[in-house]
Amino acid sequence: MSEAKCPVAHGANSNKEKGNVDWWPKNLNLDILHQHDQKTKPFNGTYNYREEVKKLDFKALEADMHQLMKDSQEWWPADWGNYAGLMVRLAWHSAGTYRTADGRGGGGTGDHRFAPLNSWPDNTNLDKARRLLWPIKKKYGNKISWADLMILAGNIGYESTGFKTFGFSYGREDIWHPNKDIYWGPEAEALDTNRHADKNDPSSLESPLAANHMALIYVNPQGFENNPDPLKTAQHIRETFARMAMNDEETVALTAGGHTIGKTHGNGDGSHLEAEPEGAAMKEQGLGWMNNTSRGIGRDTVTSGIEGAWTTEPMTFDNGYFYMLFTYDWELKKSPAGAWQYEPINIKEEDKPVDVEDPSIRYNPIMTDADMAMIKDPAYREISEKFYKDHEYFKDAFARAWFKLTHRDMGPNNRYIGHDLPQEDLIWQDPVPAGSSNYDIDALKSKIQASGLSVQELVATAWDSARTYRGSDLRGGANGARLRLAPQKDWAGNEPERLAKVLGILEPLAAEAGASIADTIVLAGNVGLEMAITAAGSQAKVPFSPGRGDATAEMTDGDSFSQLEPIHDGFRNWQKENYTVSGEEMLLDRAQLMGLTGVEMTVLIGGMRALGVNHGNSHNGVFTDNVGSLTNDFFINLLDMANKWNPSNGHYEIIDRASGNVKWTATSVDLVFGSNSILRSYAEVYAQDDNQEKFVTDFVAAWTKVMNADRFDLNAH
């Protein structure tokens, strides 16, 4: 029905299609530094989820969750009367977006509620799972986050099928709009094929991505680009699972454990499904993929298009997955929805799983191309055989891998909350022993100051130790002093020769004082900073919190730490190579991972340039004649209209307009603070005559934030 519409004055830019900022598509996306501020949150500043969740009656909540698993709803009935399969998939797909390259993704923020994740084809019908959980969320309210609830649902799902999980931690805090910093891929539409430089080489998958196509969690279950080939699929599985921190054994365990329960859904016509949640009609109220043409629920559900269960007893955690794989020969078939799947040849009637609604009906089990990879790839087959022969070993391997999958982005276990916590330190948690706080800090500071180390050596070493921190998955940082261990001590960005010199002086001082090396490195940076503040004629003490510990090589997974290597650091005006991505874009990426705001990034850049801590003693951006003094000279000279800037051999020269003489050199990272209108507005604040002291104060605060970013014993992260 059409109606005449009256025009109305509409001044607000309330439709994304009308965004005039998009006129300049190459402009920096500073939104990634401004996201998740207080304005987006429906709570005032006193609300602290990590404190609220500690008040939760964990056992009562979990009892209610167990009840929910078996409380089948007519609008979306449970397969075999248990929502376990659906809830496990929800947890898996919430956590499974994690990738090691930048630590982004994962289940730690509850962003599965928002676009694009809530509307990915791989997440079809998981909106129903979230809606089924709403009565629980409504009841327990502020004491349970959606992020925690979605992961917990997977754990309870497994427990309802007789499996004992490795444990569970609460403490994931919800966000209230989609993450703006996560790069999901270059494709213009879901399931496009643009992210491999060479489709025959799985390792050519674009970094930092960890899925073969946009809108998939890992790989296409029908085979790479819908072409069944288990050996080829195996190689893609190996690559994608490695990118989310899993080795071969963990990969097989997760595949088998994930497919031991539940089923796929493809018993119908996928063309009958309406739009995904973000594109659905208003009457659907946030639900997507609705079937308003045919029945579309129960046995007639269409999700992936593949149809069938993997095991005889899909609601029992048993050894049925490997039994099926190794007992029968499998042939390619098409599902009712037209998807490629494998079905067994000459299967015993009693081995067939029963219908989800009528136990008198039995169907063939199925395997996907990814499942067949578990016995066709030689390495995977060896592990599968081992698991098949030793069910207890398989259960332990799966429990540990599932725990890792669902907790990888939660940080060390001293952040864990709840009643069912593992008592074991796991190497992927980056354990750090407690450090001493009972030493004479002032005496150690005096010895550091008298050591002969320069401001630049002291500050740069502390910075290099702390800058590895990633707020995405709470890894890295100064605690543990892993800067002195492989692989960090040999990273080019850490200037190994300079680092060895500084550590050679600081380590004996730490031992003599009874302080950790981690504390001493940070304290030394503070000493250097205070020397620079004094040299600038200012007065300010840099806060210091002792208690960092020193990790050992045995506590350190070198392979996983290799992902944290800085190949660029705009704060020290350095790039390992000449990259296609601009230096200023990479600076934003690092600043966002370090948890910095736009203002904090700006003040740190200005201060670091004045201190003269560029990598390799480069002079780019050091716009001052008082190097080593914490002045606001960087901003003053950047904005001085007596100067002009000219490109020269890959960098820029600052030229005195009157004389034509070259005064300084710079990179694009330096100049962006004058060229970008938003960053220039911050730079102008720090260049003002009345803000020298504000500059020092703000720099010290931002510096302290960086040094303490991984002090989970001090900070409520």
Under 8 Å between Cβ of 603 and 705: no
The letter for the amino acid at 543 is P
CB burial of 610-624 (b: ≥16 within 10 Å; e: otherwise) equals bbbbbbeebebbbbb
Report the C-alpha gap between 653 and 667 in whole angstroms. 9
DSSP string, 641-678: TTEEEEEETTEEEEEETTT--EEEEE-HHHHHHHHSHH
Which residue among 93, 236, 259, 568 is the active-site one? 93
- Contact (Cβ atoms closer than 8 angstroms) between residue 311 and residue 322: no
CA–CA separation, 526 vs 541, rounded Å?
9
- Cα(171)–Cα(150) distance, rounded to whole angstroms? 12
* Full DSSP string of 479-545: TB-GGGSTTGGG-GGG-HHHHHHHHHHHHHHHHHHT--HHHHHHHHHHHHHHHHHHHTT---PPP--
Q: Answer for the pair 615, 609: CB distance below 8 angstroms, yes or no.
A: no
Nearest CA to 87 out of 411, 406, 488 is that of 406
- Strand-pairing partners, residue 574, are 569
Q: Is the dihedral of CA 587, 593, 599, 605 positive or negative?
A: negative
Cβ neighbours of residue 282 under 8 Å, at least 6 residues apart? none
Q: What does the alpha-carbon distance between residue 707 and residue 397 come to, in Å, rounded to a whole number?
A: 36
Distance (Å, whole) CA 445 – CA 476? 25
Residue 420's beta-bridge partner residues? Answer: 168
Instruction: Calculate ∠ Cα 105-110-113, nearest 5°.
Output: 105
Structure tokens at 85: 């399969």
Query: What sign has the CA pseudo-torsion 63, 66, 68, 70?
Result: negative
In terms of Cβ atoms closer than 10 Å to its own Cβ (0-12, 13-18, 19+), residue 392 is exposed
717 carries an active-site annotation: no
The closest alpha carbon to 288, from 298, 297, 299, 280, belongs to 280
* 3 state SS of 166: coil
Structure tokens at 340: 């490629």
Which residue(s) pair with 664 in the sheet? 654
b (16+ CB within 10 A) / e for 578-593: eeeeebbbbbbbbbbb
Q: Which residues are catalytic?
A: 93
